[in-house]
């Protein structure tokens, strides 16, 4: 279901963990004077448990079920949506993303992400082992999936959050024309 002419266009942000989806999403929402939904926060509120608790107590598959349900629920909201890094893993989610453009991939190298998120205890997938290696593995699987879903790929390794938000605002102006 695409946006109608005259609707406020609200992007969906995808990308690996640490790529700035939530913080850039907040900036964009403020700029567009619209709401912002952080899919992970939405899941946590609904489940009444933290992400690490969901993974530890219910398992990753259960988290992915919750994530798919949450995505379906929030897509109709007039809001910038910051997804979790693994949202593209399920085909049904990718179909949903493709049908709600524009989707924007905040592309970062595993190396720059590892510096940002190493030791983050709120991210179960990097809780144990070598963060860079894990991110490289995730990048290999997910980069093609992000690419397949996205209308804009923003390589932002050397871009500040404010610069990334500005670039997206510019893109949205063109998108609207």
Which positions touch ligand S3P (CB under 6 A)?
Answer: 17, 21, 40, 51, 84-86, 123-125
Instruction: Report the distance separating Cα 124 and Cα 128, nearest Å.
Output: 8
Reduced to 3 states (helix: H, G, I; strand: E, B; else coil), residue 14 is strand
- Report the sign of the C-alpha dihedral through residues 68, 72, 74, 75, in that order: positive
Q: How far is the CB of 48 from ligand S3P (least distance, A)?
A: 17
Q: How far is the CB of 86 from ligand S3P (least distance, A)?
A: 3
Nearest to ligand S3P of 94, 123 (CB atom): 123
Q: How far is the CB of 166 from ligand S3P (least distance, A)?
A: 22
Nearest to ligand S3P of 125, 159 (CB atom): 125
Nearest to ligand S3P of 86, 102 (CB atom): 86
Nearest to ligand S3P of 32, 108 (CB atom): 108
Q: How far is the CB of 135 from ligand S3P (least distance, A)?
A: 9
Residue 175 phi/psi, 5° resolution? -60, -35
Q: How far is the CB of 3 from ligand S3P (least distance, A)?
A: 24
- The answer to whether residues 84 and 40 touch, using CB atoms and an 8 Å cutoff, is yes
Nearest to ligand S3P of 137, 163 (CB atom): 137
> Is the preceding omega at residue 54 within 30 degrees of 0, hence cis?
no
Instruction: For residue 24, count CB atoms less than 10 angstroms from its CB and return exposed for 0-12, middle for 13-18, buried for 19 or more.
Output: buried
Give the β-pairing of 12-14 and 103-107. Answer: parallel
């Amino acid at each position: 279901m695409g946006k109608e002419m005259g609707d406020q266009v609200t992007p969906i942000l995808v990308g690996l963990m640490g790529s700035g989806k939530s913080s850039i999403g907040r900036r964009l929402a403020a700029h567009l004077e619209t709401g912002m939904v952080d899919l992970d926060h939405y899941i946590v509120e609904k489940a009444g448990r933290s992400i690490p608790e969901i993974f530890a107590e219910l398992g990753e598959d259960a988290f992915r079920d919750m994530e798919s349900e949450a995505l379906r629920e929030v897509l109709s909201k007039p809001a910038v949506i910051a997804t979790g890094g693994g949202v593209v893993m399920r085909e049904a989610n990718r179909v949903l993303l493709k049908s709600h453009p524009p989707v924007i991939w905040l592309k970062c190298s595993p190396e720059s992400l590892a510096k940002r998120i190493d030791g983050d205890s709120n991210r179960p997938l990097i809780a144990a082992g070598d963060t860079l290696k894990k991110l490289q593995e995730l990048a290999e699987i997910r980069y093609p999936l992000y690419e397949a879903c996205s209308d804009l790929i923003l390589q932002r390794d050397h871009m500040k959050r404010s610069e990334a938000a500005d670039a997206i605002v510019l893109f949205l102006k063109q998108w609207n024309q």
